[in-house]
Amino acid sequence: MTARLLAAAMAALFTALLPPHAAAGCSRDIAVPVSASGSGVIVEGREIKGIFPDLLREISRKTGCNFVFNVVPRARLVVLYGVGQADILVPATRTPERDKLGTFVPMVNNRPMLISIAGNRAPIASASELLARRELRVAVVRGFDYGEEYTSLVNELGKQGRLFSEVDTTAVARLLHAGAVDLTILGPTLMTGAIRGEPRVQGMAGRLRVEAIPELPWRHSGAYISHALGKDDQRTLYEALEKMAKSSQVMDTYLRYFSADLLNGNVRPR
């Protein structure tokens, strides 16, 4: 009897020492395929880090859920989410198509902008002006989706034969640096993060020109939790992500990678 009481006491002590909710965990490993996305997701060899991996690892510490990261191209990542093989999609903007397959948790507000290397080009104030400037070549990341206005603009650029669709933000940065394209449509933090991670384009960050147009407004960015997960796992992850989004932790994590000056006008709390 004494041995049983001692074992029970030790088990209770072990549980008490765990982080809050860590004992619950998830029913299985959570598949999180990712692609390089500026400082949002940084891939260095086999190491995966960045804003969203940092946030998910903190959730792992608090809940006991185990996130398994796997590097894939962005377009492949979107396909995996579509067929239920990506339990979490990050970073992601909200779209009606993605809503059919998962639950969106907004983490921050940001907006895509026109990014080019500074020069004497006349300003662009709208999507119609961009479409009219047929001499300008535009690069985007394949698989990125900033909503209907963005999709419409990109499709029209494609019809005009001016669109370069690349695998990730680093590839876009290289094209811009080489002069192979004139501008891109991205979040400024994504471009800045891509430049930091690519030695061949170092120094370009200080030469960037950033322009906002009304057709590309502020939007929520965050995480999708796939409906392919069990209901209990969905609930655990939703509650953890929602609690994190309501705190200062998300913006604090952004500030570990970017200055407040850079975030101003580009990223806001949700």
Task: Identify the pLDDT of residue 22.
Answer: 40
Task: Identify the pLDDT of residue 24.
Answer: 61
Domains and CATH numbers, the chain: 20-110+220-269 (3.40.190.10), 113-211 (3.40.190.10)
Task: Identify the pLDDT of residue 129.
Answer: 98
Query: Is residue 76 a contact partner of residue 141, using CB atoms and an 8 Å limit?
Result: no
Pairing type for strands 47-49 and 42-44 reads antiparallel
| DSSP letters for 199-258 | GGGTT-GGGEEEE--TTS--EEEEEEEETTS-HHHHHHHHHHHHHHHHSSHHHHHHHHHS
Per-residue burial over 94-103, b if 16 or more Cβ lie within 10 Å, else e, is bbeebeebbb
pLDDT in tens, the chain (270 residues): 454 444 444 444 444 444 443 446 999 999 999 998 889 999 998 899 999 999 999 999 999 999 999 999 989 999 999 999 999 999 999 999 999 999 999 999 999 999 999 999 999 999 999 999 999 999 999 989 998 999 999 999 999 999 999 999 999 999 999 999 999 999 999 999 999 889 999 889 889 999 999 999 999 999 999 999 999 999 999 999 999 999 999 999 999 999 898 888 889 998
Task: Identify the pLDDT of residue 265.
Answer: 83
* Angstrom distance (rounded) from CA 184 to CA 191: 9
* Angstrom distance (rounded) from CA 72 to CA 259: 29
* Angstrom distance (rounded) from CA 68 to CA 53: 10
- In angstroms, the first-to-last Cα distance of the chain is 55
